[in-house]
Amino acid sequence: MKRMRGSNLILGAALCLAMAPSALAQGNDLSIGRKMLMEDNPGELWIDQGKDLFHQKRGPKNVSLEQCDFGMGSGKLEGAAARLPRYFADTDRVEDLESRLLTCMTRLQGFDRNQLIKDAISAPASRGSDIEALALYVTSRSNGMKVNVSLSHKKEFDMYKAGEYLFYRRSGQTDFGCVQCHGEADKRIRLQDLVHMTSKAGAQEVAASWPAYRGAHYVVRTMQWRLNDCVWQMRLPDLKYATDYSIALTTYLNRQGNDAVMQVPGFKR
């Protein structure tokens, strides 16, 4: 009985989510300007790089990532990224794409976690890191599919609620939470357009377009990089790679972006 009660509560909460006013607004298409940019997106090059890395036998254990389970079963990539973050029984954690890659690259291939993290975010104008290329390749296998983050597991729902809390949490000498810059339509910091993430359309834009080619850096960037950069602007300390803080925010944003059609690599300034 206790068990049923738990799932019932979650069902109730999920229904509440479905009814939240922000979820009622309709999504819109990417602007024409963005579409034009994407037709000639240099980030496409990273897809092949990631595909090679995925299938090559690598690491101390000399195996490929073909046995990695991104949530749809070993090696099944179609639609997997569109459902991330999600709960994984083998780690008993909610993982986003980047933490799942870390899990597989350490457990299956035997790579050193600290070294992977050290190399994860590449230098501008470099050939990019393995994780950047792999993250893009895996996500590209959901292109054309709808973002579909489920909160049916208790830990997923907890993660979502924590992410929501963190989105609004203000701290530091600039009193910034995420919502100070991403809570209203048509806002800019200097000339940089700020995505309005408390709208359905804005959250969908985020959920559908990462990893993205970053024009100013000439490399493909992941969500973890983006969060690092925003946190830096907020004058907070260095964000560690793939901690629950990032996973919670990503769960929150991607869930808000449900039903967006995945199209990566996105193309960013």
Partner 1 sequence: MKTTWIKWSASAVTGLMVAGCASYPDQATTRQMAEKMVFEAFDASLAHMKRLEQDRSQQICSKIGDAKLSREEAAEVVKLARASIQYPASGQLTGDWKAGDRLAHDGSGDRIRSGKTEANKQNGALCQNCHALAPGEINVGNVGPPLTGYGKQRGNSEAIVKYTYEKIYNAWAYFPCSNMPRLGATRHLTPEQVTHMVAYLLDPQSPINK
Catalytic positions are: 230
Q: How far is the CB of 122 from ligand HEC (least distance, A)?
A: 18
- Cβ-based nearer residue to ligand HEC, 69 or 158: 158
Q: Greatest CA separation found in the chain?
A: 57
Q: Structure tokens of 109? A: 């291939």
Stretch touching partner 1 by CB under 8 A, among 19-27, 31-39, 57-65, 108-116: 19-27
Q: How far is the CB of 47 from partner 1 (least distance, A)?
A: 30
> How many residues of this chain bind ligand HEC (CB under 6 A)?
22
Q: 49 Cβ partners below 8 Å, 6+ apart? A: 127, 128, 133, 137
Give the number of other Cβ atoms within 10 Å of residue 170's Cβ: 12
Terminal Cα distance for the chain, rounded: 53
Q: How far is the CB of 196 from partner 1 (least distance, A)?
A: 12
Q: How far is the CB of 118 from ligand HEC (least distance, A)?
A: 23
Sign of CA dihedral 254, 228, 139, 260: positive
Angle, alpha carbons 14-20-25 (nearest 5°): 125
Stretch touching partner 1 by CB under 8 A, among 10-18, 24-32, 207-215, 260-268: 10-18
SS3 96: coil
Binds 161: which of partner 1, ligand HEC, none (CB < 5-8 Å by kind): partner 1
Q: 125 Cβ partners below 8 Å, 6+ apart? A: 217, 218, 219
Binds 34: which of partner 1, ligand HEC, none (CB < 5-8 Å by kind): none
Angle, alpha carbons 118-156-205 (nearest 5°): 70
Residues 170, 172, 175, 178: what is their CA dihedral angle, to the nearest 10 degrees?
-50
Pairing of strands 93-95, 86-88: antiparallel
Chain residues 164-203 in contact with ligand HEC, contact rule CB under 6 A: 176, 178, 180-182, 189, 192-195
- Yes or no: say if 163 and 251 are a contact pair by the CB < 8 Å rule: yes
Chain residues 119-158 in contact with ligand HEC, contact rule CB under 6 A: none
Q: How far is the CB of 8 from partner 1 (least distance, A)?
A: 5
- Cβ-based nearer residue to partner 1, 20 or 57: 20
Catalog residues that contact partner 1 under the rule CB under 8 A.
4, 8-13, 15-16, 19-22, 157-158, 161-166, 168-177, 180-181, 186-191, 194, 198, 232-233, 235-240, 243-246, 248
Catalog residues that contact ligand HEC under the rule CB under 6 A.
176, 178, 180-182, 189, 192-195, 205-206, 209, 226-227, 230-231, 233-234, 249, 268-269
